[in-house]
Amino acid sequence: MLYCWGHSTRCYTAGHSTNRKISLRKDKSMSLQLGTSTHPLRIAIIGSGPSGFYAAGRLQEQKTLVVEIDMFDRLPTPYGLVRGGVAPDHQKIKSVTKVYDKIASKPNFRFYGNVEFGTDLTLEDFERHYHAIIYAVGAQSDRQLGIPGEDLPGSHAATEFVAWYNAHPDYRQFEFDLSQEKAVVIGLGNVAMDVVRILAQTYDELYPTDIADYALEELKTSNIKEIYVLGRRGPAQSAFTNPEIKELGELHDAEVIVAPEEVALDSYSQAFIESGEDKVAVKNVEILKAYSQRESQGKTRKIIMRFLTSPVEIIGKDRVEAIRIVKNELYQTEKGEIRPRETDQYETIPVGLVFRSVGYLGTPLPGVPFYEKWGTIPNEKGRIMTAIKDGQQVTGGYVVGWIKRGPSGVIGTNKPDSVETVDMLLEDMTNGKLLDPATPSREAIENLLNERGIAYVTFEDWLKLDELEQERGAAVNRPRVKFSQVDEMLEVVSKVHQSLPDPAGD
Ligand code: NAP
497 and 14 Cβ atoms separated by less than 8 Å: yes
| Atom 42 in ligand 1: residue holding the nearest Cα | 190
Question: What's the mean pLDDT when you consider all of the chain?
Answer: 93
> Mean pLDDT, to the nearest integer, of 29-45?
86
Q: How confident is the model at residue 27 (pLDDT cuts 50, 70, 90)?
A: very low
CA of residue 458 to ligand 1 center, whole Å: 34
pLDDT reported for residue 138? 98
CA of residue 495 to ligand 1 center, whole Å: 42
CATH number belonging to the domain at 142-360, selected among 3.30.70.100, 2.40.10.340, 3.50.50.60, 3.30.43.10: 3.50.50.60
**3-state class (DSSP) for residue 142:** strand
pLDDT reported for residue 497? 87
CA of residue 66 to ligand 1 center, whole Å: 40
Q: Does 11 score more than 50 pLDDT?
A: no
CATH code: domain 28-140+362-457 is 3.40.50.720
**Rg value, the chain, Cα:** 25
Q: Mutation test of ligand 1: which of 191, 242, 410 has the most ligand atoms closer than 8 Å to its C-beta? A: 191
Q: How many residues does the chain have?
A: 506
Question: Per-residue pLDDT tens for 76-131?
Answer: 999 999 999 999 999 999 999 999 999 999 999 999 999 999 999 999 999 999 99
Q: How confident is the model at residue 24 (pLDDT cuts 50, 70, 90)?
A: very low
Q: Which are the contacts of 23, defined by CB distance < 8 A and separation ≥ 6?
A: none
Q: Taking the model in full, what pTM does it have?
A: 0.92
484 and 168 Cβ atoms separated by less than 8 Å: yes
pLDDT reported for residue 10? 31
| Atom 13 in ligand 1: residue holding the nearest Cα | 358
pLDDT reported for residue 319? 98
Three-class secondary structure assignment of 292-361: HHCCCCCCCEEEEEECCEEEEEEECCCCCCEEEEEEEEEEECCCCCEEEEEEEEEEEEECCEEEECCCEE
Same fold, 28-140+362-457 and 142-360: no
Q: How confident is the model at residue 16 (pLDDT cuts 50, 70, 90)?
A: very low
* Domain range list for the chain: 28-140+362-457, 142-360, 460-494
> Mean pLDDT, to the nearest integer, of 150-157?
98
HSE toward the beta carbon, residue 31, CA cutoff 13 A: 1
Q: How confident is the model at residue 324 (pLDDT cuts 50, 70, 90)?
A: very high
CA of residue 170 to ligand 1 center, whole Å: 23
Q: How confident is the model at residue 32 (pLDDT cuts 50, 70, 90)?
A: confident
**3-state class (DSSP) for residue 71:** strand
64 and 90 Cβ atoms separated by less than 8 Å: no
Alpha-carbon gap, residue 89 to 501, rounded angstroms: 39
pLDDT reported for residue 5? 39
CA of residue 360 to ligand 1 center, whole Å: 8
Q: Which are the contacts of 203, defined by CB distance < 8 A and separation ≥ 6?
A: 216, 219, 220
**3-state class (DSSP) for residue 134:** strand
Question: Per-residue pLDDT tens for 345-362?
Answer: 999 999 999 999 999 999
**β 41-46/67-73 pair status:** parallel
Alpha-carbon gap, residue 48 to 379, rounded angstroms: 20
Atom of ligand 1 nearest to the CA of 409: 32
| Atom 36 in ligand 1: residue holding the nearest Cα | 190
CA of residue 238 to ligand 1 center, whole Å: 9
Q: Mutation test of ligand 1: which of 95, 247, 358 has the most ligand atoms closer than 8 Å to its C-beta? A: 358
Percent of the chain with pLDDT over 70: 93
> Mean pLDDT, to the nearest integer, of 209-216?
98
CA of residue 359 to ligand 1 center, whole Å: 5
Alpha-carbon gap, residue 468 to 474, rounded angstroms: 10
CA of residue 195 to ligand 1 center, whole Å: 12
> Mean pLDDT, to the nearest integer, of 258-267?
96
361 and 375 Cβ atoms separated by less than 8 Å: yes
**3-state class (DSSP) for residue 480:** coil
pLDDT reported for residue 19? 29
Q: Does 4 score more than 60 pLDDT?
A: no
> Mean pLDDT, to the nearest integer, of 129-146?
97
Q: How many CB atoms lie within 10 A of CB 103?
A: 21
Alpha-carbon gap, residue 47 to 78, rounded angstroms: 8
**3-state class (DSSP) for residue 421:** helix
- Name every protein residue with a CB atom under 6 angstroms from any ligand 1 atom: 145, 186-192, 194, 231-233, 237, 239, 244, 310, 357-360, 407-410
